[in-house]
């Protein structure tokens, strides 16, 4: 039996604790962070907190009082303890605006829910290589909230269904200018002549935690610019990143085969700098 933390209280995962009036349920009025925990440590917790605080500010929400790095870490560890003392997990921290109202909320206070699922891997691993595709009619519009990790995810759900039908592991999403935006649950990097390139935030991509960390880690060596579909075809490598899996390399895209040299290097750097391995 799995357990969750809902507004500071522990409940069974399937216990009905979210009311029908919850604004996250009714309007998608919320946002979330997906984090990885290795050996009961969340390596990018400060990045997640910084992004969550920024998102709350953009959405005119009031962050829960005392909700800081140390407090959140304690909540995560307490939840891990009641979930069979799990040590390695995918952790989801979801915020939702409390109160009622229609489109105009009558309160800007935030509630939260923390859940977790055990994972097998104990460090970042590039995996066996992904088979990835793309549909030009499946795109993400650029909007004022495009870079936020909000809970309105219909375009990702539809894209995931397309990917499943085509037997792809992941899918590249374009923006409405037909430029590369992101993956289903990841940011996109390409490697050309040993240069690491990623779409800038104006492309409509989510401001990913792992994306931000890698850009900082590479100390100015990453180019942030528009990436056209032709750039994908001509790349030496295509890399997908997120906070839970770290770096994943694309083995095949639209029938073309790609390498993983830079992906291996980045994964080694992540494990060294974040996990001390």
Beta bridge partners of 41: 38
DSSP 26-92: HH--EEEEEEEEBTTB-TTHHHHHHHHHHHHHHTT-BPPTT--HHHHHHHHHHHHHHTTT--SEEEE
Residues 128-157 have pLDDT tens digits of 999 999 988 888 999 999 999 999 898 899
| Angle, CA of 58, 44 and 81, to the nearest 5° | 110
Q: Which CATH number fits domain 130-275: 3.20.10.10, 3.40.50.300, 3.30.450.40, 3.20.20.150?
A: 3.20.10.10
**Per-residue pLDDT, 65:** 82
Spatial distance between the Cα atoms of 33 and 243, rounded to a whole number of angstroms: 9
Domain layout of the chain by residue ranges: 3-118, 130-275
Write b or e for each residue in 53-69: b if 16 or more Cβ atoms lie within 10 A of its Cβ, otherwise e: eebbeebebebbeebee
Predicted pLDDT of residue 234: 96
268 torsion bin: left (phi>0), alpha (psi -120 to 50), beta (else): alpha
pLDDT at 220: 87
Residue 1: the pLDDT is: 60
Place of tokens 């499943």: 164
Percent of the chain scoring above 90 in pLDDT: 89
Average pLDDT over residues 97-114: 94
Q: What is the pLDDT of residues 26-84, one digit of tens each?
A: 999 999 999 999 999 999 999 999 999 999 999 999 998 888 778 999 999 999 999 99
**Torsions phi, psi of 96, nearest 5?**
-145, 150
pLDDT at 120 over 70: yes
What's the rounded mean pLDDT across residues 107-121? 95
Other beta carbons less than 10 A from residue 233's beta carbon: 11
CATH number of 3-118: 3.30.470.10
Per-residue pLDDT reduced to its tens digit, 164-220: 999 999 999 999 999 999 999 999 999 999 999 999 999 999 999 999 999 999 998
Which residue intervals of 123-251 are DSSP H helices? 154-166, 209-217, 229-234
First vs last Cα of the chain: how many Å apart?
32
Structure tokens at 165: 């039908």
- Pairwise CA distance, residues 211 & 233, whole Å: 21
Average of per-residue pLDDT values in the chain: 95
Up-side HSE of residue 36: CA atoms within 13 Å toward CB? 23
């Amino acid at each position: 039996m799995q357990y969750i933390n809902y507004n500071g209280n522990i409940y069974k995962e399937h216990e009905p604790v979210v009311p029908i009036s919850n604004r996250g349920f009714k309007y998608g009025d919320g946002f979330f962070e997906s984090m990885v925990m290795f050996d009961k440590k969340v390596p990018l917790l400060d990045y997640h907190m910084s992004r969550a605080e920024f998102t709350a500010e953009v959405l005119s929400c009031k962050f829960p009082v005392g909700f800081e790095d140390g407090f959140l870490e304690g909540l995560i560890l307490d939840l891990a303890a009641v979930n069979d003392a799990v040590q390695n997990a995918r952790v989801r921290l979801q915020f939702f605006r409390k109160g009622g109202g229609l489109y105009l909320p009558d309160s800007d206070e935030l509630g939260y829910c923390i859940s977790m699922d055990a994972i097998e891997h104990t460090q970042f691993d590039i995996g066996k290589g992904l088979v990835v595709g793309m549909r030009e009619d499946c795109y993400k519009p650029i909007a004022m909230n495009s870079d936020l990790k909000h809970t309105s995810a219909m375009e990702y759900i539809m894209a995931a269904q397309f990917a499943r039908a085509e037997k792809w592991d992941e899918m590249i999403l374009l923006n409405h200018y037909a430029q590369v935006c992101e993956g289903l649950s990841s940011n996109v990097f390409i490697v050309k002549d040993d240069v690491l390139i990623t779409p800038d935030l104006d492309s409509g991509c989510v401001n990913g935690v792992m994306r931000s960390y890698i850009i900082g880690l590479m100390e100015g060596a990453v180019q942030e610019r528009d990436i056209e579909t032709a750039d994908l075809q001509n790349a030496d490598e295509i890399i997908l990143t997120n906070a839970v899996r770290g770096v994943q390399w694309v083995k095949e895209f639209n029938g073309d085969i790609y390498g993983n040299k830079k992906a291996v290097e980045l994964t080694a750097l992540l494990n060294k700098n974040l996990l001390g391995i």
